Amino acid sequence: MNFNIDIDTGGTFTDGFFTSNGRYERVKVDTTPHDLTVCFFNCIEEGAKRFGLTTEEMLQQTKVVRFSTTIGTNSLIQRTGPKLGFLATKGHERTLYQIQKGANPVFDSILTREIVIGLDEKIDHLGHEEKALDPAEVKVAVKSLLELGARMIVVSLANAHLNPIHEQQIKKAIEEDYPKHYLGAVPVFLASQLSHSPSDEFRTNTALVNAYLHRDMVKYLYKADDGVRAKGAKRPLLISHATGGAARVAKTKAIDTYNSGPVGGLLGSLYLGREFYNLQNIITFDVGGTSTDIGIIHQGRYAYNLQPQIEGITVTTPLIEVKSIGIAGGSITRVANGKLSVGPDSAGAMPGPVCYDLGQMEPTATDACLVLGYIDPDYFLGGKRILNSSSATAAVEEFLADPLGIHVAEAALRVKEQVESVTADTIERMLLAKGCRAEDFALFSFGGAGGLFCSGVADRLGIKDVYTFPFSSVFSAFGSSTLDVMHSYDWLLELSLAEPDQDKWTLFNETVEQLKQRLLRDMRGEGFGASEIEFSLELETYDDDTKETVVLPSPVLTINSQEDILNLCRTYAVAAGKPAAKVCTVRVIHLKATAKTPHFRLEESPLASDDSNTALKRTKGIYWSEGLVETRIYERNLLKPGIVLKGPAVIEAEDSTYVIPAGRIYMIDHFGNGLITKEEG
């Protein structure tokens, strides 16, 4: 047998998606915040059991192991990163090159003011050395930073993107004084190596965030990589990147992994929508225990954020656009000044919701859904965890119902409705920013808690079709399985391309070729030959009229004729919304190399007769907006393709629950996926 393993670690659960010869198994285990490699291997062990194997037996037969993780996200949120020391060009110590007025979000979050030192050096705006670097000054500065407690040093000098010679000299000097074979070795990060942005401020931010994430990433990801190799894996562990691909640990920058789990869900949705449903417009709705992640696929494409914000800090690593909000199944609910709030703080995996009976006192959204009757306390995670509905009811009554002066069921219903309202409002704002209407989109719902809220969100937005999946609860891990191995390099070019500029054509082509050779070397390290690699080129172009940057997929890898230039200018004109263009001004080029890996494919099944009685488990009273209603409860695993159920109904699966209100129907399609759609008439 040949296996593919995909693991996604979230704040509450760690999910696994295991495939072999058309068969798949999904796994959920508790996340272990003290050491994320523990839940990583717990997940693999549980997946191996599903196939009747040991962990070692499975890994010995595994072609690909991919890992997406919240290690970096957690480091930033919890402020558990190392103490950073920073070297800047003299005169910029207090601002870190920030142009706009106001407090710099870097200070007092990942960097303290007293651990920044300025150096008396200068590279001018053309890249010429105006004032040489003094090696003695560097040694004194580094010694001071270390005495102040710095565990890593970040270097970002003005105009280093044009000439990094001083940054390189600093790194060499530090490594001479603190060589790597000593315990006192000091990791050094150069902004010019991490970003080619012409903005000193954003290069600095990128380097600082990357350094802050780096220590925990190295600690856990290399440990996971060593572990899978020790247990028999023949290929290196691949780390999912928020840029849309995966690469081995040694070729992964810490910042590449930020938000990689939610991005996996978006890419999995793109894959299913394109390959099986011919859907061009999809909203992804991923509700976990800690956060809800929302993505937009418009006209078959997702958006890149060229200058994303990470915890309020603007960086220059292009990341696929997914918005996370702090409201989900584990979100803690409170009443303050007569108003109900849900999140953003979460009960997480430990202690979890009140109904876990592990010490949480304040109720969560999950507790509210348990009170309403949507969740069966004896069938949570397929019965692996028995929930205490009495403690959940008592917490909702004490902390919500009594302060609001309402019935406990009304309080729980308000929690559910607030989750739906906040997420629907967020989606609507995201669509408005793109000039889109919600009714033109399908909603893909996943995550362990997505099925509880997706119908309410769709109704608020006027969306007709909601797609759910047998692997919804581990969908980001499934999405990871759709990733190919990918490496990318970018280069600052600042080049205006027009028809007769042969010298500029040559410079463009030479730059692409240099990047191509670096990518080929990287891919050889992953085990891929040149014939297995596809190259693609994206260009950051500058619009002189609007002063905006426009990203476009290049129609050519190299420029060899006037026709190539015409194609490039036409592509630029369309992307920039112009009627025509004779010149394309390229600021940065991004060259990607991709090698295909095996992807799981859905199998079609014939539609069966519409007989839902075989899947009916029982009926019970459930609280809906109209009050207590006797409701049919169905077992998801017993529903066959072709079966149609009318709401109100609840569909129970081992790892998720789907709430179908009146006015909607639930059907299983020929791929075995669930469609929640508006009832006709």
**Domain shared by 591 and 619, yes or no:** no
Q: What is the pLDDT of residue 283?
A: 98
pLDDT at 434 over 80: yes
- 542 and 504 co-located in one domain: yes
Please give the pLDDT value at position 611: 67
**Is the same domain home to 587 and 617?**
no
Say whether both 566 and 633 belong to one domain. Answer: no
Mark whether 654 and 577 lie in a shared domain. Answer: no
Same domain, 498 and 540: yes
**Once rounded to an integer, what is the mean pLDDT over residues 140-152?**
94
- The pLDDT, as a whole number, for residue 137 is 96
- Could you say which DSSP state residue 82 is in? P
C-beta of residue 88 within 8 angstroms of C-beta of residue 96: yes
pLDDT tens per residue across span 2-17: 899 999 988 778 999 9
pLDDT at 544 over 80: no
Going by pLDDT thresholds of 50, 70 and 90, the confidence category of residue 681 is: low
| 34 against 74, higher pLDDT | 34
Q: Report pTM.
A: 0.86
pLDDT, tens digit (0-9, with 9 covering 90-100), for 238-264: 999 988 889 889 889 999 888 888 899
Angle at the Cα of 480 from the Cα atoms of 475 and 481, rounded to 5 degrees: 95
- The tally of domains found in the chain comes to 3
Task: Map tokens 């990607």 to a residue.
Answer: 592
Question: What is the spatial distance between Cα 157 and Cα 167, in angstroms, rounded to a whole number?
Answer: 7
Whole-angstrom distance, CA of residue 38 vs CA of residue 298:
38
Phi, psi of 545 (to 5 degrees): -80, -50
Percent of the chain beyond pLDDT 70? 98
Closest CA to 474 of 49, 16, 3, 6: 16
Q: Exposed, middle or buried by CB within 10 Å (0-12, 13-18, 19+), for 272? A: buried
Q: What is the CATH number of the domain that holds 224?
A: 3.30.420.40
Return the pLDDT at 87: 98
pLDDT digits (tens, 9 = 90+) for 162-198: 999 999 999 999 999 888 777 678 899 999 999 888 8
Which residues form the domain of 629? 613-678
Residue 223's pLDDT band (boundaries 50, 70, 90)?
Answer: very high
Choose between 390 and 500: higher pLDDT: 390
**Within-domain flag for 556:** yes
Q: pLDDT tens for residues 356-391? A: 999 889 999 999 999 999 999 998 877 888 999 999
Q: Quick check: is 670 in a domain? A: yes
Residue 206, in any domain of the structure: no
Residues 563 and 620 in one domain: no
CATH, residue 528 = 3.30.1490
Residue 594 has what pLDDT? 93
Task: Verify that 489 and 591 share a domain, yes or no.
Answer: yes
From CA 174, how far away is CA 178, in angstroms rounded? 6
Residue 623, pLDDT above cutoff 90:
yes
Average pLDDT over residues 445-461: 95
Largest CA distance in the chain: 83
As a residue count, the chain comes to: 681
pLDDT surpassing 80 at residue 545: no
Same domain, 547 and 582: yes
Which of 595, 630, 650 terminates a domain? The answer is: 595
Over range 661-680, report the average pLDDT.
93
For residue 469, is it within any domain? no
User: What local confidence, expressed as pLDDT, does residue 349 receive?
Assistant: 66
Are both 490 and 548 inside the same structural domain?
yes
Instruction: Please indicate, yes or no, whether residues 557 and 627 belong to a single structural domain of this protein.
Output: no
Let me know whether 590 and 490 are in one domain.
yes
The pLDDT tens digits of the residues spanning 267-322 come to 999 999 999 999 999 999 999 888 899 999 999 988 888 788 888 899 988 888 99
197 assigned to some structural domain? no
User: Which band of pLDDT confidence, cut at 50, 70 and 90, is reported for residue 88?
Assistant: very high
In a domain, 8, yes or no: yes
Residue 242 lies in a domain: yes
pLDDT digits (tens, 9 = 90+) for 560-576: 888 888 888 888 888 87
* CB under 8 A, 24+ apart: contacts of 36-42: 36/9, 36/69, 36/71, 36/220, 36/224, 37/220, 37/223, 37/224, 37/227, 39/9, 39/14, 40/7, 40/9, 40/14, 40/67, 40/224, 40/227, 41/224, 41/227, 42/14
Virtual CA dihedral for 191, 194, 200, 205, nearest 10 degrees?
-90
In-domain check, residue 443 = no
The pLDDT tens digits of the residues spanning 103-133 come to 899 997 899 999 999 999 999 999 999 999 9
